[in-house]
Structure 1
């Protein structure tokens, strides 16, 4: 919802909406907070459930290698990095808000700081999203590299695919940032006890188009990796299937199916939804990507699969590989 900004007589900054805030806008803000809260609960609850398994399979008697470094980076970056994101959604910046006849008046001394803080938090959120996708992609590359018997040709092909996908995404991110600087700011959020709760500046329609490109490139990468995984396991002889390969196929299918739904949701909301709901599922997408990948890495370190790993020549790659 666009609005005009001017300086009121009392030194406050007034933001006049074309019409009073509607029930739809309030509902959008509530829906966004509810979905994000569920995602945060999944992130930290799953960490609590699997921490003991992590200690057993990645800490005790294990030397640090490429696989464990990628696992720790992806898992703990998500756990720590989403703390500022929670402040973005739940924090109450120190600004006072009055609503009078369709006008929201913000105290001038902190209005600029509020908008700057929100832009900074959302920029950090975007960078965290990109980094989360990079680390998850690296772990996917490692997994496919392992099941293709450490083929350098496959490794180089996957790295090239990753660079292409993320290069397109980075281009779209930079363009969307420039578009954002040329559009009017938007405030869509909840107000409680005279304060604006959280940051949600929304996205312009033009930004939404480029956000859709970002998630389309991530979806293309995931689809190709999943297709390569299925192709490799289906091509194995009957005696080579089972054990770790069944786990990789099962977890890979679950990962791709869930992320396919969320990638499509990100694309469709970016293109079709109102500003406050564009990319509403981005936080959930990043959290589920890192959580599911952590589960996959924990599962392939199951001691019950170790014998099967040795038989299939994957033990050295998945346990001790330095790539």
Structure 2
């Protein structure tokens, strides 16, 4: 491969990752006011902890990845050693990010199915298999490189190394597992929503189906694009959508959680109704106060572990 071809691939890598970083930080500031109004001051529980872990774990955890691609200094043995560490960090960070997002999707679907343990066991088994494949791809990758592919460029900007042809199958399998997991979550959400289509009040289920469909479409396209780069791209552009896929999955799951606390869900269910139940046993419930003028409004939404199951609540106190 000529030096010009290598430089073109490296530049493509830089530009694509720059787009990913821009989307992450731009969306954070774009939705910060939603986070403040819908999460800050609410009771501390498992969904809140996962929301903050995903949002701020991705935000601050991406900083070393930015450093990996745009660290500007002379190429020295010390820099190359740090670059190797950053490369390993990026791989493990991607796995951890997907695990956190997977847990949030499992809890969301578990609540949608009225805390059905068989559904939970099924989802956990699929997730465990996907995590196993991902860890296998990360742990077995470095030792599988060949001498001709295991090349680290002496670059002034960032750290770029090739992905060997022997690694592509492992990494493509890992991202293929994510496609399988996303398909499972989407099918379960779609089935549950359609099975409740005759109910008189479906606002929350409509939001769940809408957001689930958007999440599924975006993530499947991102993951399939990532898989295709492993099969068709050059050694320095294989897997360049990895950061993009992680960023988009984090953004999408954050918006799913934020949309569940949209006050419009309460007003759509009936401004003066005391309680509107979307499912037969009250698993999704909207509580509305009397609406007396002048009273303070507070939003407190969460997943509560009760004797009757997990409740996704949107409470509007007036």
TM range, smaller chain:
0.7 to 0.9
Provide structure 1 residue ranges, at least 5 long, that are not aligned to the other structure.
2-18, 96-109
- Among candidates 90, 93, 98, match of residue 125 of structure 1: 90
1:154-212 C-alpha deviation (Å, 9 max, x unpaired): 122211111111112212222213214876531357x5xxxx21011110001111110
- Among candidates 260, 263, 266, match of residue 300 of structure 1: 260
- Among candidates 227, 247, 271, match of residue 287 of structure 1: 247
Q: Distance in 2 between matches of 1:281 and 1:127?
A: 16
- Report deviation, 1:239: 1.6
Q: Distance in 1 between matches of 2:198 and 2:54?
A: 34
Match of 2:209 in 1: 249
Q: Distance in 2 between matches of 1:187 and 1:247?
A: 47
Match of 1:147 in 2: 112
Contact 2:150 2:164 in 1 (8 A): no
Contact 1:306 1:315 in 2 (8 A): no
Contact 1:165 1:221 in 2 (8 A): yes
- Report deviation, 1:306: 4.1
- Among candidates 138, 160, 163, match of residue 200 of structure 1: 160
Contact 1:233 1:241 in 2 (8 A): no
The normalised TM-score by structure 1 is 0.82
Match of 1:105 in 2: none
Describe how 1:185-264 pairs up with structure 2 within 5 A: 185-188=150-153, 196-239=156-199, 242-264=202-224
Describe how 1:43-192 pairs up with structure 2 within 5 A: 43-60=24-41, 62-95=42-75, 110-111=76-77, 113-180=78-145, 185-188=150-153
Contact 2:175 2:223 in 1 (8 A): yes
Report the CA distance shift for 1:55/1:207 in structure 2 as closer, same or farther (over 3 A). Answer: same
Match of 1:35 in 2: 16
Contact 1:136 1:293 in 2 (8 A): yes
Matched residues, number: 283
Contact 1:71 1:294 in 2 (8 A): yes
Structure 1 or 2: more helix by fraction: 1
Match of 1:314 in 2: 283
- Report deviation, 1:321: 2.0
Q: Secondary structure at the match of 1:319?
A: strand
Contact 1:269 1:279 in 2 (8 A): yes
Contact 1:145 1:155 in 2 (8 A): yes
1:124-159 C-alpha deviation (Å, 9 max, x unpaired): 111111111001111110111111112122122211
Q: Distance in 1 between matches of 2:79 and 2:190?
A: 49
Q: Distance in 1 between matches of 2:163 and 2:242?
A: 13
The normalised TM-score by structure 2 is 0.83
Provide structure 2 residue ranges, at least 5 long, that are not aligned to the other structure.
270-274, 287-300, 311-318
Higher relative contact order (CA 8 A, sep 6+): 1
Q: Distance in 2 between matches of 1:243 and 1:208?
A: 43
